[in-house]
Amino acid sequence: MVGLKACRKISQRPAKMIAADQTQSWIDQHSAVVSIEADWLNTAREKALSHFEEVGLPGIRDEQWRYTNLRALKSHNYSVAESRELLVELPTSDNPRLVFVDGILNTEHSTALNVDGVSTLSSALKTHNSLVEAHFGQALPKEQHGFTALNTAYAQDGFVVQIGNNANLVDVLEVFFVSQSPETVSHTRNLIICAANTKCTVVERHIGNADAIYLSNSVTEIFANDNAHVDHYKIQQESDEAFHIGGVFINQQSSSNVKSHSIALSGLVTRNDVNTNLLGEGAHMEMNGLVLGSGRQHIDNHTEVNHVVPNCTSDEYYKTILDDKSRSVFRGRIIVAEDAQLTNADQQNNNLLLSRHAESDSKPQLEIYADDVKCSHGCTVGQLDASSLFYLKSRGIDAESARGLLTFAFANEVIDRIQVDSVKSELTKIIAGELLSGLEDLV
């Protein structure tokens, strides 16, 4: 990779294994990553690498990571994968799709390469270099943790959606990020750029191979200009031994409407950041999240909504279902700037514990510097309602089925907010299979 300090000392030697808890080891390993040459991008990469050298990987001493122990992640060695062959069976769909295997585009299974407005990051750097330069990194927070810096420094590839004024992405775009090689790391970087009066729907799907141990580090930036409508989904069906660090960062202009849906169904350790900046009056943000945790899973969701200007609205609705010894973390932060009068913001986080060993940590936050606003937040942590269980059992439903039905109803309130019929139907069946055990035909 041209321009990185570590790369100035590199020969063409094969990539070596790394110890994940050593900053220099990460740099040495990633020096083998090859990137398209672009002066501005090399400068951005070098700046990000310097930041990573300064902050390193986050740990429990960092306030934003205090509940998420990365010891298990750091106990493995990772290498950058070279394979492109797809070994995992993908869900069937009529939607155009892009498929990345261990961070590398698989052209054989990608059917969206000829769709107007859709390309890979590597292609966009050749054909729309100035457009990528104008947006790359612009939605990221000022204070970035080490994984986000690594993504900028070593992004391998990703997707770019670019919609011009008064146009729509006609079909739903599905993007599959498949991780299948053991003890590998992939850094995928994505851009969704919607000009004025546009609409698009993008479904990111992160899928893992069986019990493979790997690290997926993904960043998506979304830019919604005046009156743009973006419906974005991130669905995680990772390996049960996988580590996933992801971020969705959004800038919204006047009268834009962005919906972000985050569905985490598996993975050993997951950390998802969803940050949005409401920069134009009349902008609306909707965040929906659902977590199904079991076994030893740890899922950490951090959200931040920045109301920068007046007359903007936001609606945040996250639900978590935890069984066995799983654990969830939710930190939801709403910031209302001094000039952001007439803000209307709502945040709700509900957590359902199915086991006495499960644990949920929730930290809703409101920072309000304006005086003419309507803001609220709520959080619940509890078990299934005893009276509802009794009611169902009194109607002849056995205890296990009654428990499954109530749990499914709890999750379905988030699924009902999904607007892509094929995705909604698939997730309903998956969750029904997890929770209803023999009653799937009822949904």
289-310: per-residue pLDDT in tens?
A: 999 999 999 999 999 999 999 9
Residues 324 and 428 in one domain: no
On whether residue 289 sits in a domain, the answer given is no
Q: What is the pLDDT of residue 33?
A: 62
Provide mean pLDDT across the span 323-345.
Answer: 97
Pair (177, 276) in one structural domain: yes
Are 391 and 364 in a shared domain?
A: no
**In this predicted structure, what is the pLDDT of residue 252?**
98
Q: What's the chain's average pLDDT?
A: 89
What confidence score (pLDDT) does residue 92 get? 86
Check pLDDT > 50 for residue 226.
yes
Q: Is residue 33 domain-shared with residue 154, that is, in the same domain?
A: yes
* Boundary of a domain, candidates 349, 368, 383: 383
| Residue 121's pLDDT band (cuts 50, 70, 90) | very high
Categorize the per-residue pLDDT at 22 as very low, low, confident or very high, splitting at 50, 70 and 90.
low
Higher pLDDT, 410 or 396: 410
Q: What is the pLDDT of residues 132-185, one digit of tens each?
A: 999 999 999 988 999 999 999 888 899 999 999 999 998 999 999 999 988 888
Q: Compare 443 and 272 and report the one with higher pLDDT.
A: 272
239 and 170 inside one domain: yes
Look at residues 368, 383, 398 and tell me which one is the last residue of a structural domain.
Answer: 383
Residues 355 and 403 in one domain: no
Task: Yes or no: say if 306 and 335 are a contact pair by the CB < 8 Å rule.
Answer: yes
Furthest-apart CA atoms within the chain: distance in Å: 73
> Do both 29 and 137 map to the same domain?
yes
Q: Which of 225, 245, 280 is the last residue of a domain?
A: 280
Confidence band of 30 (pLDDT split at 50, 70, 90): low
Q: How many structural domains is the chain composed of?
A: 3
Identify whether 286 is part of a domain: no
pLDDT beyond 60 at 34: no
Same domain membership, residue 167 and residue 90? yes
Residue 393 scores a pLDDT above 90: no
Residue span of the structural domain in which 431 resides: 386-443
Q: Quick one: 342 and 440 in the same domain?
A: no
Do 215 and 169 have their domain in common? yes
Residue at 295 is within a domain:
no
Is residue 287 in some structural domain?
no
Residues 49 and 128 in one domain: yes
Rounded average pLDDT over 248-270: 97
Mean pLDDT of the 365-372 span: 95
> Do 276 and 167 fall into the same domain?
yes
